[in-house]
Structure 1
Amino acid sequence: MPNNLEYINCKLNVHSKEGTECGYLNTNDCPKIKLTDNQAIVIIDNDISIMG
């Protein structure tokens, strides 16, 4: 999706074999995020984390 809906400052790769480690995510450096089919990004206020 273009601009990732502008919720996070990151590039997303979905349906990856190996995903980014679960936990709190620091998006200040615009990391590339890989998500498996069993992972999701949770955004609550300014806290962003990967759950899986």
Structure 2
Amino acid sequence: MEILEETLYRPKNLENLSKEVKEKIEKKRLSFFQKIFRFFFGKKETKK
């Protein structure tokens, strides 16, 4: 039973890891685009 639970839990662990990585990449992309926006459009603040 213990071994079965571990093998069932691993895929979820991997899914959570990939989700975290995707979120970090998206946040980096957003901040990158915000920097470009501020460069082109002056000191306009982008509000969420």
Which of the two has greater strand per residue?
1
TM-score bucket (shorter structure): under 0.3
TM-score for both structures, normalised by structure 1: 0.19
Larger Rg: 2
Which of the two has greater helix per residue?
2
| Relative contact order, higher structure (CA 8 A, sep 6+) | 1
